């Protein structure tokens, strides 16, 4: 069965610092991988997704993630944090080989950005 | 283009009552998903519609939950009778295609059962 582990339920950074949110997945088949963000009082918004093309995926708002099969990881990074990045971030996986499957989410990581 | 909408945004009911949540997907999206997040836990899949048909309902917790998608447009999720453990945020998502197609999420309905 597929699973997702997000290390750290809460990450705090200073404005301008590097953001690194960790995600490891478990899947017996090639996965699709996603990062979603939820701002306060809003729904989930897709940041980026990996669908077996380039292993380095660029998303919105300056975020990017690298698919590393050997490490079964898909960590999310941003070189310089902005106050507006404060939100909850979710890593998710779905089954590459089975069309239409549900997303399996990690528990989420809340990012706080201080000035 | 309008996004996924959900109604109501909040609902507070007493144990034993019935609640119906509604989801309107993005126009033209055949695939509609329901998810739930219980406080402190991860977001979990409930079920998946393709048009009006239930493709996968393996995540539905029990028979107190009934989902419908008449006509393949909007969907409703009814909880009857509601229990305390049903409290959480219910998300709806829709997608145009299958596989790695992006699922677009609504803002969620926060359900509180007292």
Q: Is residue B23's pLDDT more than 70?
A: yes
Nearest CA in chain A to B45: A102
Percent of chain B with pLDDT over 70: 96
Nearest CA in chain B to A43: B107
A48 within 8 A of A34, measured Cβ to Cβ: yes
Q: Is B28 on the interface with A (CB under 8 A)?
A: no
Nearest to B110, CA basis, from B85, B81, B88, B78: B88
DSSP assignment of chain A: --EEEEE-SEEEEETTS-EEEEEEEE-SSPEEEEEEEE-TTS-EEEEEEE-SS-SEEE-GGG-EEEEETTTTEEEEEESS--GGG-EEEEEEEEETTSTTPPPEE---EEEEEE-
Chain B hits for A96, Cβ within 8 Å: 99-100
What is the spatial distance between Cα A39 and Cα A61, in angstroms, rounded to a whole number? 13
Q: Would you call A103 and B35 a contact, using CB atoms and an 8 Å cutoff?
A: yes
Q: Is residue A98's pLDDT more than 60?
A: no
Nearest CA in chain B to A5: B42
Residue in the block written with tokens 């790695």 = B100
Percent of chain A with pLDDT over 90: 72
Segment B59-98, tens digit of pLDDT: 999 999 999 998 889 999 999 999 999 999 999 999 987 6
Segment A74-96, tens digit of pLDDT: 999 999 999 999 999 999 998 65
- The lowest-confidence range among A30-34, A95-99, B53-57 is A95-99
Q: Would you call B43 and A105 a contact, using CB atoms and an 8 Å cutoff?
A: yes
Q: What's the whole-number mean pLDDT along residues B10-35?
A: 96
pLDDT at site B98: 66
Cis? peptide before A54, omega within 30° of 0: no
More confident call, A112 vs A51: A112
Q: What's the whole-number mean pLDDT along residues B7-36?
A: 96
pLDDT at site B93: 95
Residue B54: which pLDDT band, with cuts at 50, 70 and 90? very high
């Amino acid at each position: 069965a597929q699973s997702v582990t997000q290390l750290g339920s809460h990450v705090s950074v200073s404005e301008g610092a590097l953001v690194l949110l960790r995600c490891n997945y478990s899947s017996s088949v090639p996965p699709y991988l996603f990062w979603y963000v939820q701002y306060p009082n809003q729904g989930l918004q897709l940041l980026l997704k990996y669908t077996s093309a380039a292993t380095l995926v660029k998303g919105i708002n300056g975020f990017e993630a690298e698919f590393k099969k050997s490490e079964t990881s898909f960590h999310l990074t941003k070189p310089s944090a902005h106050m507006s990045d404060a939100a909850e971030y979710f890593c998710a996986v779905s089954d590459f080989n089975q069309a239409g499957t549900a997303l399996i989410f990690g528990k989420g990581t809340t990012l706080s950005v201080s000035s | 283009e309008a996004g996924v909408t959900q109604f109501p945004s909040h609902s507070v009911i007493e144990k034993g009552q019935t609640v119906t949540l509604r989801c309107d997907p993005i126009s033209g999206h055949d695939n509609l998903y329901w998810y739930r997040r219980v406080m402190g836990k991860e977001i979990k899949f409930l079920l998946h519609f393709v048009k009006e048909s239930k493709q996968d309902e393996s995540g539905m917790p029990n028979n107190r939950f009934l989902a419908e998608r008449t006509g393949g447009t909007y969907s409703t999720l009814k909880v009857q009778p509601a229990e305390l453990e049903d409290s959480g945020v219910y998300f709806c998502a829709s997608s145009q295609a299958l596989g790695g197609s992006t699922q677009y999420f609504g803002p969620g309905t926060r359900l509180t059962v007292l």
